[in-house]
Copies of this chain bind each other. A is one copy, B any other.
Amino acid sequence: MGLVVQKYGGSSVADAEGIKRVAKRIVDAKKNGHQVVVVVSAMGDTTDELIDLAEQVSPIPAGREFDMLLTAGERISMALLAMAIKNLGHEAQSFTGSQAGVITDSVHNKARIIDVTPGRIRTALDEGNIAIVAGFQGVSQDKKDITTLGRGGSDTTAVALAAALDAEVCEIYTDVDGVFTADPRVVKKARKIDWISFEDMLELAASGSKVLLHRCVEYARRYNIPIHVRSSFSGLRGTWVSNEPQGDQQVEHAIISGVAHDVSEAKVTVVGVPDKPGEAAAIFRSIADAEINIDMVVQNVSAASTGLTDISFTLPKTEGRKAIDALEKTRSAIGFDSLRYDDQIGKISLVGAGMKTNPGVTAGFFEALADAGVNIELISTSEIRISVVTRADDVNEAVRAVHSAFGLDSDSDEAVVYGGTGR
Q: Which residue of B lies closest to A120 (CB)?
A: B144
Instruction: Point out the residues of chain B lying under 8 angstroms from A59, CB to CB.
Output: 87
Asked if A353 is an interface residue, CB under 8 A from chain B, the answer is: no
Q: Which residue of B lies closest to A146 (CB)?
A: B96
Instruction: Point out the residues of chain B lying under 8 angstroms from A94, CB to CB.
Output: 65, 68
Asked if A50 is an interface residue, CB under 8 A from chain B, the answer is: yes
Instruction: Point out the residues of chain B lying under 8 angstroms from A19, CB to CB.
Output: 57
Asked if A189 is an interface residue, CB under 8 A from chain B, the answer is: no
Asked if A417 is an interface residue, CB under 8 A from chain B, the answer is: no
Within the complex, what minimum Cβ distance (angstroms) separates A55 from chain B? 9
Within the complex, what minimum Cβ distance (angstroms) separates A414 from chain B? 34
Q: Find out whether the CB atom of A65 lies under 8 angstroms from the CB atom of B86.
A: yes
Q: Which residue of B lies closest to A61 (CB)?
A: B83
On whether A65 and B79 interact (CB within 8 A), knowing A58-B87, A59-B87, A86-B58, the answer reads yes
Q: Which residue of B lies closest to A93 (CB)?
A: B64
Instruction: Point out the residues of chain B lying under 8 angstroms from A50, CB to CB.
Output: 76
Q: Which residue of B lies closest to A43 (CB)?
A: B53
Contact pattern, A 89-105, Cβ under 8 Å of B = 1, otherwise 0: 00011101001000000
Give the distance in Å from the alpha carbon of A76 to the alpha carbon of B94 in the complex. Answer: 19
Residues of A in contact (CB 8 Å), total 39
Asked if A403 is an interface residue, CB under 8 A from chain B, the answer is: no
Instruction: Point out the residues of chain B lying under 8 angstroms from A16, CB to CB.
Output: 53, 56-57
Give the distance in Å from the alpha carbon of A118 to the alpha carbon of B154 in the complex. Answer: 32
Contact pattern, A 56-90, Cβ under 8 Å of B = 1, otherwise 0: 11111110111011011101101111111011000
For chain A, what secondary structure do more than half of its interface residues adopt (helix, strand, loop), or is it mixed?
A: helix
Within the complex, what minimum Cβ distance (angstroms) separates A264 from chain B? 28
Asked if A188 is an interface residue, CB under 8 A from chain B, the answer is: no
Instruction: Point out the residues of chain B lying under 8 angstroms from A96, CB to CB.
Output: 68
Asked if A215 is an interface residue, CB under 8 A from chain B, the answer is: no
Contact pattern, A 24-38, Cβ under 8 Å of B = 1, otherwise 0: 000000000000000
Among A60, A61, A65, max chain B CB count under 10 A is at A65
Give the distance in Å from the alpha carbon of A19 to the alpha carbon of B50 in the complex. Answer: 14
Instruction: Point out the residues of chain B lying under 8 angstroms from A384, CB to CB.
Output: none
Q: Find out whether the CB atom of A62 lies under 8 angstroms from the CB atom of B82.
A: yes
Q: Find out whether the CB atom of A58 lies under 8 angstroms from the CB atom of B72.
A: no
Within the complex, what minimum Cβ distance (angstroms) separates A144 from chain B? 8
Asked if A20 is an interface residue, CB under 8 A from chain B, the answer is: yes
Q: Find out whether the CB atom of A57 lies under 8 angstroms from the CB atom of B93.
A: no
Give the distance in Å from the alpha carbon of A78 to the alpha carbon of B79 in the complex. Answer: 20
Instruction: Point out the residues of chain B lying under 8 angstroms from A75, CB to CB.
Output: 68-69, 71-72, 75
Q: Which residue of B lies closest to A80 (CB)?
A: B57
Give the distance in Å from the alpha carbon of A92 to the alpha carbon of B64 in the complex. Answer: 10
Q: Which residue of B lies closest to A83 (CB)?
A: B58
Asked if A167 is an interface residue, CB under 8 A from chain B, the answer is: no
Q: Find out whether the CB atom of B53 lies under 8 angstroms from the CB atom of A65.
A: no
Q: Which residue of B lies closest to A52 (CB)?
A: B16
Q: Which residue of B lies closest to A95 (CB)?
A: B68
Asked if A334 is an interface residue, CB under 8 A from chain B, the answer is: no
Q: Find out whether the CB atom of B57 lies under 8 angstroms from the CB atom of A84.
A: yes
Q: Which residue of B lies closest to A88 (CB)?
A: B58
Sample of 15 A–B contacts (CB below 8 Å):
A16-B53, A20-B57, A53-B76, A53-B80, A54-B80, A57-B81, A59-B87, A62-B86, A65-B80, A65-B86, A66-B79, A68-B94, A69-B80, A71-B75, A72-B75
Which 9 A/B pairs are nearest by Cβ-Cβ distance? A69-B79, A16-B56, A58-B87, A68-B79, A58-B83, A57-B84, A72-B75, A72-B72, A65-B82
